[in-house]
C-alpha cells in the first residue's frame, strides 16, 4: 500500500493521542488529485462520551490555574504551532486544496488569536456597581464558563479553529474541537502538538466522527455550557434544536452569508473590480463573506463585467507550493455539483454567461472562475449562497432601489459598497441589514468583531467581545 503523505492521525482526548475505540478510520482526500493523503481515527459514541467527561474534568483543572500559568501554557502551544508552521500549512493545502499563499492566513490567524486573547483577558476586571443607598457593595464578576463544543467549517481549518481556541483557553474554559470531515487533518495535528508539550489534560479535545456518534451526542449532552459553530444556517438550526433538548446552553454561531457588493455610479471602478475579483478567487470563493450578488450601476455594468472577465482569464488554477497558482480546487465533489447547479440555474433564469461556467475535467475538483450578467435584478438564484468562484452581476439605477434588493435576503453577514460620495456611503452604512459593512475596501483582523444578523448568526468571533461567550457573569453583593 502506498505510504500516505501525512500518515495516520489519532484522536486527542484527555491529554493523550488515542485510536478510536472501535478502530475505525477515515480517509482524508486531497481535492487536487482525489487521492487519500492521510487517515484519521474516526470517533465512536464511546469516544465522544469519554471526551465529554475528560473536558468536564479538564475544565475543573484548567479554570483553577492561576491566570499567568494558563497564559504560559497558551504561549507554549503558540510557539509549538509556529515551530510546525510549514507542516500545518502543507496539511491545509492537501486537505482542502488551498494555495500555499492562502494557507498563511490560517496559520497566522490561530497564532494571532492565541496571542491576542492572552493579552485581552488581562484587561478584564470586575465591574463595580454603585449602591444608591450606600448600604451595600456590588461587583459584576466574570468567571470561566465551562465546557465549550466547537463545530468548525472546512473552508479555513485553522482560522476557524483559532477563532474558538483563543478566547476559550484565555477565558479558562475547556473546549472540544470537532473539525469538518472535509478538512480534519490540521486540527488533528494540533492535537499532536498539544500531546507533545503535555498540555493540561482535558483543556483541549480534538475528534471527528459520524453525526450519530459525535455531533448529536455532543449537542445533547448536559456537560457543554456553550455550543459554538462556523458553518451554514441549516447546520446551526439543527445544532440548536439538538442541544436544547437536554439543557439551556449558550450559542455563538457564525452562519452563511449572501453578501451584496454594491458598485455605485461614482465608484472607483478599478478598485471595485480588483477587490471583487480577489474576494471571488481567494480560497476558490469558499468564504462566507465573499461577494455573492454584484449590484452594479447600469452605466458601469458592461465595463465592470469585462474587467472581471479579464482578471478571471488571467487566473492560474493549480496546486502545489512550487506551482504558485492563484486559485486551487473546490474542497469536495459536493461543492462542484452545487456550484455547477447554481451556474446552470442562473443561465436558465436569464443570465448571460460571459466566462467560465464549468468544472474542469479531472482529476481534482476544479471549477472555472465564472462571470454571469443579468439584464434584470430580481432573479431567484440570487437568494442562494454560492460558496464558489462565481460572480452574478445585476444592474441597478438608484440607491433606494438597490438597498431593497441588497436587504432582500434572510442572511446578513458581510456587505460591500463602493462610492466616492460620503452621503451615499453614510446612507448604505445606516441602511444595510448586515453585521459588517465594508466601504471602499475590505479588512478583517483578530481585533475586529466579526458576526452577522438575521439568519447569519448569534454573537461574534474575533475582538474582545468574543471572550464574553466563554465567561460566566455573576453579581456579588456584600452588605456594609
Catalytic residues: 254
C-alpha cell at 55: 473536558
Closest CA to 210 of 367, 88, 47: 47
CB 452 within 8 A of CB 255: yes
Pick left, alpha or beta for residue 202 (phi over 0 → left; psi -120 to 50 → alpha; otherwise beta): left
A 10 A CB-CB count for 198 gives 11
Could you give the CA distance from residue 347 to residue 357 in angstroms, rounded to a whole number? Answer: 10
Closest CA to 308 of 319, 318, 300: 300
C-alpha cell at 217: 451526542
Maximum Cα–Cα distance across the chain: 78
C-alpha cell at 423: 452621503
C-alpha cell at 73: 501554557
Instruction: List 252's β-bridge partners, or say none.
Output: 228
Could you give the CA distance from residue 28 to residue 35 in angstroms, rounded to a whole number? Answer: 8
Could you give the CA distance from residue 148 to residue 173 in angstroms, rounded to a whole number? Answer: 7
C-alpha cell at 153: 467549517
**Alpha-carbon dihedral sign for residues 288, 289, 293, 294:** negative
A 10 A CB-CB count for 249 gives 20
Q: In sequence order, what E strands does 207-333 have?
A: 224-230, 250-254, 259-263, 291-297
Pairing of strands 11-13, 16-18: antiparallel
Secondary structure (DSSP) of 356-403: --SBPPSSS--B--EEEE-SSS--GGGGS---SSEEEEEEES-HHHHH
Helix (H) or strand (E) holding 92: helix 85-96
C-alpha cell at 299: 452605466
Amino acid at each position: 500500500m502506498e505510504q500516505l503523505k501525512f500518515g495516520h492521525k489519532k484522536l486527542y482526548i484527555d491529554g493523550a493521542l488515542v485510536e478510536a475505540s472501535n478502530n475505525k478510520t477515515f480517509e482524508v482526500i486531497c481535492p487536487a488529485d482525489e487521492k487519500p493523503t492521510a487517515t484519521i481515527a474516526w470517533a465512536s459514541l464511546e469516544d465522544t462520551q469519554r471526551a465529554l467527561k475528560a473536558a468536564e474534568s479538564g475544565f475543573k483543572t484548567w479554570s483553577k490555574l492561576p491566570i499567568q500559568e494558563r497564559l504560559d501554557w497558551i504561549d507554549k502551544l503558540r510557539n509549538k504551532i509556529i515551530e510546525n508552521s510549514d507542516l500545518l500549512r502543507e496539511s491545509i493545502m492537501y486537505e482542502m486544496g488551498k494555495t500555499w499563499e492562502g494557507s498563511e492566513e490560517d496559520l497566522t490567524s490561530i497564532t494571532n488569536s492565541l496571542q491576542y486573547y492572552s493579552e485581552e483577558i488581562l484587561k478584564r476586571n470586575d465591574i463595580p456597581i454603585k449602591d444608591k443607598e450606600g448600604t451595600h457593595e456590588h461587583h459584576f464578576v466574570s468567571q470561566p464558563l465551562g465546557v465549550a463544543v466547537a463545530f468548525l467549517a472546512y473552508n479555513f481549518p485553522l482560522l476557524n479553529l483559532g477563532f474558538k481556541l483563543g478566547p476559550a483557553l484565555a477565558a479558562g474554559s475547556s473546549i472540544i474541537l470537532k473539525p469538518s470531515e472535509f478538512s480534519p487533518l490540521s486540527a488533528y495535528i494540533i492535537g499532536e502538538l498539544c500531546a507533545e508539550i503535555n498540555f493540561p489534560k482535558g483543556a483541549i479535545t480534538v475528534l471527528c466522527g459520524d453525526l450519530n456518534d459525535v455531533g448529536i451526542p455532543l449537542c445533547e449532552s448536559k456537560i457543554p455550557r456553550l455550543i459554538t459553530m462556523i458553518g451554514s444556517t441549516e447546520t446551526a438550526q439543527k445544532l440548536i434544536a439538538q442541544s436544547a433538548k437536554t439543557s439551556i446552553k449558550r450559542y455563538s454561531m457564525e452562519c452563511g452569508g449572501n453578501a451584496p457588493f454594491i458598485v455605485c455610479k461614482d465608484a472607483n471602478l478599478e478598485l471595485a473590480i480588483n477587490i471583487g475579483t480577489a474576494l471571488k478567487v481567494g480560497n476558490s470563493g469558499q468564504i462566507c463573506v465573499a461577494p455573492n450578488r454584484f449590484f452594479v450601476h447600469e452605466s458601469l455594468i458592461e465595463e465592470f463585467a469585462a474587467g472581471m472577465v479579464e482578471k478571471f482569464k488571467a487566473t492560474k488554477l493549480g496546486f502545489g507550493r512550487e506551482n504558485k497558482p492563484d486559485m486551487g480546487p473546490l474542497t469536495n465533489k459536493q461543492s462542484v455539483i452545487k456550484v455547477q447547479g447554481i451556474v446552470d440555474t442562473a443561465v436558465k433564469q436569464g443570465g448571460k454567461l460571459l466566462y467560465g461556467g464549468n468544472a474542469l475535467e479531472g482529476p481534482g475538483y476544479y471549477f472555472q472562475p465564472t462571470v454571469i450578467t443579468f439584464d434584470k435584478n430580481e432573479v431567484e438564484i440570487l437568494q442562494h449562497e454560492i460558496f464558489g468562484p462565481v460572480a452574478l452581476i445585476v444592474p441597478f439605477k438608484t440607491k433606494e432601489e438597490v438597498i431593497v434588493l441588497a436587504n432582500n435576503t434572510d442572511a446578513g453577514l458581510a456587505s460591500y459598497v463602493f462610492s466616492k460620495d460620503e452621503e451615499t456611503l453614510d446612507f448604505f452604512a445606516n441602511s444595510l441589514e448586515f453585521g459588517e459593512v465594508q466601504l471602499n475596501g475590505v479588512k478583517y483582523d483578530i481585533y475586529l468583531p466579526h458576526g452577522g444578523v438575521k439568519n447569519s448568526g448569534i454573537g461574534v468571533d474575533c475582538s474582545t467581545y468574543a471572550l464574553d461567550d466563554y465567561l460566566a457573569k455573576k453579581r456579588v453583593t456584600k452588605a456594609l
